[in-house]
Amino acid sequence: MARFAAALGWLAIGVTHAQQPDSLTASIVKYQYDLKTEGRDFLVAEAKRASFFALGELHGENEIPDLIRALWPSLWNGGYRHVAAELSPWAARRLEFERSKLPPEGHGLWRTAEADTVTALKKGSQAVLWGCDIEEVRPDQLIRELALSNPVNRALQVMAEKTAQGYRRGAAPELFALARRASEDSQAPRGSGQSLRDLAQTFEVESLRSSPSRRFEASTRRELLRKELFLENYRLVGGRPKILARFGRNHLHRGYDRRGVSTLGNFMAEFATAQGDLSFHVAAFGAGGKVRMPGGVIDWDETKEDPAFALLASQARYAATVFDLRPIRGTLHQIPDAKRSPSEASLVYWADSYDAIICYREVTPLP
């Protein structure tokens, strides 16, 4: 029965593809590039034209780290000096300046090899990595570090006791209250203010996440925090720096994403426009293979979840195909809402949100 259902599903996708307007299919076929050759040149050229290059990535695979290694030298030559990262400010400082305090594999999405890639070309002490997120990976480690350096701060000591066996999200509301008390302590040693703020911001979002009815509020607060941290770093550098942003795909959309949240990517696009600059947004998806998640390696095929991805994958010529989505926006919007197929309706969303998208035929899990 399951095989019969799967066969029907693929048949439905095939019918959907067959119904695509010739002009749309022709544009999808025409405006695609091999990432290893002309696709890389296409991305570099667009990055050079822009001030913000937003990479909405997958998680847990080798392909995006490989892409960053391939692009970064050219981006550096094009004036990029900073990376806005899905890291807390605390984690970003450790990756760039306090590597000995990290495990060999790095921190979350950022392995030490990727950090080395983006910092290897810098001259001087100015930070390349901008931490623009909460501390999702090791909030208990941040607590322990702060508690050790602030032995008279009672709130921190209590937090350390409560997370001695690891962090549980159910404890987030209580930890948030303690983090606020800790950050208000006038006896905090010099230099710990930033980390105390990181701590309070992390548990503000985590406390909202702990309640199923407040998940939307949590997502909105987290994106607002990212915008605030991005702008804070941008103003600290001065001038009009060129920035690579590396975040999960849900966070670098233009407009509102499917959660109904205005993302960091939307802020970057509007901020660039306000300054007379450009932003370029590129997403990535996997049409097969495996990725590494916290629980282990799992199969990965996003074409089964999104009909737009299934359509693009069916037309992709290369192992890694870059589709320029801008030429198909007009064609898609000429199709009345009521007459759009599921793949067209989803493709409208992606073409409005991103300028380009990379289809990886098969992704491989991080070691």
User: What is the per-residue pLDDT across 157-167, written as a single tens digit (0 to 9) for each?
Assistant: 999 999 999 99
pLDDT confidence tier of residue 200, bands split at 50, 70 and 90: very high
pLDDT digits (tens, 9 = 90+) for 206-229: 999 999 999 999 999 999 999 999
Residue ranges per structural domain of the chain: 23-50+278-367, 60-245
In this prediction, residue 2 has a pLDDT band, given cuts at 50, 70 and 90, of: very low
pLDDT value at 282 more than 90? yes
Q: What integer pLDDT is reported at residue 109 of this predicted model?
A: 80
Least confident among 182-186, 283-287, 308-312: 182-186
DSSP-assigned letter for residue 189: P
> What value does the mean pLDDT take over residues 81-97?
95
> pLDDT band at residue 367, thresholds of 50, 70 and 90?
confident
What number is the average pLDDT over the span 239-243?
Answer: 96
* 320-324 and 356-360 beta bridge pairing: antiparallel
| Tokens of residue 326, six digits | 């801008």
Which residues are bridge partners to 53 per DSSP? Answer: 244, 280
Contacts of 272 (CB under 8 A, 6+ apart): 50, 51, 52, 278, 279
What is the model's pLDDT at position 3? 42
pLDDT of residue 4 exceeding 50, the answer is no
Q: How far apart are CA 148 and CA 215, in angstroms?
A: 32
pTM: 0.90
Tell me what pLDDT residue 76 has.
Answer: 97
pLDDT-based confidence at residue 5 (cuts at 50, 70, 90): very low
Residue 60 pLDDT greater than 50, yes or no: yes
Residue 7 has pLDDT above 70, yes or no: no
**For 104-110, which contacts have Cβ atoms below 8 Å and span 24 or more sequence positions?**
107/137, 107/138, 108/136, 108/137, 109/57, 109/59, 109/85, 109/246, 110/85
Q: What is the pLDDT of residue 184?
A: 85
Whether 262 has a pLDDT exceeding 60, the answer reads: yes
Average pLDDT, the chain: 91
Of 83, 85, 86, 91, nearest to 199 (Cα)? Answer: 91
